[in-house]
Structures are given as structure tokens and as C-alpha cells.
Amino acid sequence: METKERYRLINVFLLILAINVLISVLVLLITFYLNVPDLNNNIRKEMFTLKGIIKQSISVAGQTFFYYFSLNYYNKLLVERKESFYYLRYSFLMLILIFAFFWGTQLVYPQKTSLSDEASSRIFIFSFGITAVLSTGSSLLLAYLNNLRDEKHQRKLLEAQKLQLEVDKSQANFKFLKSQINPHFLHNTLSFLYAKSLPYSAELSEGILTLSDIMRYALHESNEKDDKASLKDEIEHMRNVIRINQLRFSNNLHVKFEVNGMINGTEVIPFLLITLVENAFKHGDLQRVDHPIEIKLTVEQNRLYFYCHNKKKSGPKEMSTGLGLDNIRNRLGFAYGNNYKILIKDETDFYTTELTIDKL
């Protein structure tokens, strides 16, 4: 975050000039609407004579330098996390400078008035007090709000960098794991086991073949990064995982899997939906006919909606770190920005996950 010249002089000048022009226009409109001849004449003398233009120019210059130095210094104090004493000391110095500017302007261009000296002094002190409080307070407030915005932007950058590092680390770990497994050797071995198991058990051979498909997809080169994968392949991968779990539990699991919409040509980040499904298999009671796991996937007009609902297991619960869901949120944010919404309902007996991606 910047600590030197967070606010450029030219930018401060243009802002002050714009504000003063706007105020002048408003004053002219109000006096024109009120239609008081003496007031109109006085306003015109103050604004359109050479003396009036010089006074306004001096005022704009004074405000510009005041806000330029005060905004940058307050920003410096905020960035450095200084204590209240430093703010009070600098604010007191600003009050002295504002008083000096007021007094100097009054000496050079004294206000002609029929009021007594005492009344004029009171008006001067009142005007100075209002201007000093508003100027110093607005300067500190602007610096504080902009500092908050800068910190928020900085946090976003750091989070994006951290997420990229996590992605890079995951990719490196995946590549290392993949380097330890020769895909051709694995597939050949599974094919051999599949052929050998055919005469003995159709169920065993089906499991080996399904496992081979799962491993083939997991080790596919296109899924090494968080680039998009074919949604059709993702769905097939989910079906294979469901099939393997059915074989584990002798086809006693009750699963409703529904896919709607045009999935051909649609892409999604890999291993996204299967993580939610595996979470349901891990913690859900899927052997109840009246409470099957419900999985619904709908694709419509470049929008994906995924729904997964299951009854929780009764009895001892398996420990969950929540890292899987955190990883999903990070990957979704990295791939889709703000174009997604994930809703999780963790109820007493049921667990529901809804994921919506607005722009695939």
C-alpha cells in the first residue's frame, strides 16, 4: 500500500475545483430563485469581479494544498498504524494553518460590514471553527475510507496469490503422485485382472472395469490443472463412483441421479461435483428406501444447477475437517469469480448442498 503521495496534487486540485464550481452554481441558482436584487448584486460582485475571482482562486489554492498534505499525511499515519496522539498532534497543526489562512485572507481582503468589531470577531471565530472542524474531519474521514478500500483491495490480491500458490502446490502434488503411477501399467494390469475375473465373478469384473474407468479419468492429462473438463465426462465419472459404492454395499444403496438439459459441449472445472457426492456417500445413510440420496443436475442457458440431498447417518459420525468444502469454494472463486453461489443446509437429520454457476 502506498505511503508516499497516495493522493496526487493534480487530482486533489481538480476535485476541489469541481466542488467549488458546483457550490457556486448552486448559490447562483438559489439567489436567482429567491430574486432579491440586493443579494443578487452582492453575489455577482463577490463572484464575477476581479477581486472576487482572485479571492476564489486563493480559496481554491488554499483548500487544494490543505487537502493534499492532510490526506497524504493521514494516510501515512493509517498505513503505519500510529497511535491517537499522532492524529491529534497533526490535527492541531492543521487547525493552526487554517487559522493562519483565514487571518491572512481577512487582512488582504477585509470584509466590509456595518457590524461592530466584537460582532465581526465572533463571526470570524464561528466561521473559522466550522471550516476547521469540517475540513479536518472530512480529510481524516476520506483518508480512513480510502485506506479501508486499499486494504480490502490488498487482501483480495493476497488471497488471489495465496489461492494460486495452493493451486500450484496441488498441481505439483498431483504431478508427483502421477509420476509414481505409470498409467499404462495400471490400465494394463486392470485390464488383465478384468479378463481373468470374467469366468469367476461378473460383479468383480464389473468393479475392476469401473475402477479402471475412474483411474483413467483421474490420471487424464487434461485434468492436471483447474482448466475446464467436459461436463459429460464429469457425469460419467460420478456414475462410476456411484457404481463402485453400490458394489461395495451389494447394490443396497438407494440413489436417485437425475440429469436435465444440454450437457454436450458444456465444460466445468474437474472433480467439482464428485466431491459433493462423495461427501454424501461418506456421511449419509443411503440404505433407507424412504430417504434415498437425491442428486439433480440441470444445465440451462449456460447456467448449471446442482442439488445433492441425503439423510445423515445415525450413531457415531465420521470426523470431517471441512477442507473439502473450503477447497471447493476456493476453486469456484478462482474459476468463476462472483458468478457462483453455494448453499449448504446442515440440519439435524438431513444434509443438503445446492450449487449454482451462472456463467459456465
Give per-10-residue mean pLDDT for the chain (360 aa): 69 85 76 62 63 78 86 85 82 81 69 55 67 80 86 84 75 59 63 72 75 72 63 89 85 91 89 87 86 93 93 67 70 88 91 91
Would you give the DSSP letter of residue 35?
A: T
In the chain, what are the domain boundaries?
A: 9-161, 250-357
Q: What stretch of H or E contains 213?
A: helix 202-218
Whole-model pTM: value is: 0.48
3-state helix, strand, coil in the chain (%, to 5): 65, 10, 20
pLDDT of res. 274: 87
Beta bridge pairs of residue 294: 256, 309
Alpha-carbon distance of 68 to 181, in angstroms, equals 63
Cα 161 to the chain's mean position, in Å? 14
pLDDT of res. 62: 83
Provide DSSP, 288-313: -TTS-EEEEEEEETTEEEEEEEEEBP
Dihedral in degrees, nearest 10, Cα atoms 67, 69, 72, 73? -120
pLDDT of res. 211: 76
pLDDT of res. 154: 85
Domain 250-357 has CATH 3.30.565.10: yes
